Chains A and B, each alone.
Chain A
């Protein structure tokens, strides 16, 4: 009986780890998702208004995406660390 309870506890722990890993990644993806959408949308707007500045806007956009995306990627790394 004791061993069975212990087993159930371990299984619960594994399930909790798996679902919290899922939550960690899901939560980490919200902010960067909104951020990248807003960033690219604004950049497209800028490029449409001023096509001659498109090259500069594109470079800056990629820089911005790189910084925003880093947050989501840290979430992904945490996801792997918890999930395993």
Chain B
């Protein structure tokens, strides 16, 4: 190993002892994320809606407006507004699960364990297929496997490709995108903090000042992870919106 750097096995940086049986820190973060988002909106709903928004209500309104203007309007249009509550809770939950990756003491994005992204992706998968059947009936399968405007014989090729890309690859890529992004960020943070520690606490006096370099990199990656956490929540939500919108209106 370079510089005798002992990188811990992957289980060591992703697993904790259970707080009590079947409940560990990742579960704690997930529960906290849902509780925090519920509390924000309960507090905001109790404020007087007729006055100018302040404090918590201001925050809640900003988030709702972000979901409506940035996620629903460009993908589903005006008649997709009914999906605001679902997409809002999806976005907030993922964002609040990503955020602990850079919060000291916690230092673990709950979405870096595959269970949470996988469950959310399966939820979106079930919902968009359900929406497709609700709006188009059994013709949904036909519409999604045989897109219009393709010359007849090519359907032998197109139909299997459409089937794989719509019903198999979508949930898989939703899962892997969120999971791998957060896991990669977490591993990067571990790598650079280990490197800093090894260099600063090492025996060589020459190498001690060099430790400042990985430390700067660590700060840069931490700032980058703030962006990644937000961006991945945004992308997951917008893809969910695109899938649901596409299932509801095949002609677009």
- Closest CB in chain B relative to A79 CB, distance in Å: 10
Interface-located stretch among B20-28, B38-46, B79-87, B233-241: B233-241
Q: How far is the CA of A63 from the CA of B181 in the complex (A)?
A: 15
Q: How far is the CA of A6 from the CA of B134 in the complex (A)?
A: 61
A63, B238: Cβ atoms closer than 8 Å: yes
Q: How far is the CA of A84 from the CA of B10 in the complex (A)?
A: 8
> With a CB–CB cut-off of 8 A, which chain B residues contact A55?
74
B177, A66: Cβ atoms closer than 8 Å: yes
A50 is an interface residue with CB less than 8 A from chain B:
no
Instruction: Knowing A77-B180, A80-B10, A84-B10 are in contact, say whether A66-B74 is a contact too (CB < 8 A).
Output: no
Interface-located stretch among A9-17, A36-44, A68-76: A68-76
B176 is an interface residue with CB less than 8 A from chain A:
yes
If over half of B's interface residues share one DSSP class (helix, strand or loop), that class is named, otherwise mixed; here it is helix
A73, B238: Cβ atoms closer than 8 Å: no
Q: How far is the CA of A31 from the CA of B128 in the complex (A)?
A: 30
What does the 1/0 interface line of A41-60 toward B look like (CB < 8 Å)? 00000000000000110010
A23 is an interface residue with CB less than 8 A from chain B:
no
> With a CB–CB cut-off of 8 A, which chain B residues contact A80?
10, 183
- Closest CB in chain A relative to B229 CB, distance in Å: 15
> With a CB–CB cut-off of 8 A, which chain A residues contact B70?
59
What does the 1/0 interface line of B154-196 toward A look like (CB < 8 Å)? 0000000000000000000100110111011000000000000
> With a CB–CB cut-off of 8 A, which chain B residues contact A66?
177, 235, 239
- Closest CB in chain B relative to A3 CB, distance in Å: 25
Instruction: Knowing A59-B238, A62-B235 are in contact, say whether A76-B177 is a contact too (CB < 8 A).
Output: no
Partner of B180, one of A62, A65, A67, A76: A76
B177, A56: Cβ atoms closer than 8 Å: no
Q: How far is the CA of A70 from the CA of B70 in the complex (A)?
A: 22
- Closest CB in chain B relative to A53 CB, distance in Å: 11
B222 is an interface residue with CB less than 8 A from chain A:
no
B10, A70: Cβ atoms closer than 8 Å: no
A70, B184: Cβ atoms closer than 8 Å: no
What does the 1/0 interface line of B199-239 toward A look like (CB < 8 Å)? 00000000000000000000000000000000100110011
- Among residues of B, the one whose C-beta sits closest to the C-beta of A67 is B173
- Besides the contacts A62-B234, A63-B238, what 9 more A-B pairs have beta carbons closer than 8 Å? A59-B70, A59-B75, A62-B238, A70-B177, A74-B180, A76-B180, A77-B180, A80-B10, A84-B10
Ordered nearest first, which 10 A-B pairs have the shortest CB separation?
A73-B180, A59-B74, A70-B173, A66-B235, A76-B180, A70-B177, A77-B180, A73-B176, A76-B184, A73-B177
Chain B residues within 8 Å of A, Cβ to Cβ: 9-10, 70, 74-75, 173, 176-177, 179-181, 183-184, 231, 234-235, 238-239, 242
A–B complex contacts, Cβ < 8 Å, 13 sampled? A59-B74, A62-B235, A66-B235, A66-B239, A67-B173, A73-B176, A73-B177, A73-B180, A73-B181, A76-B180, A76-B184, A77-B176, A80-B183
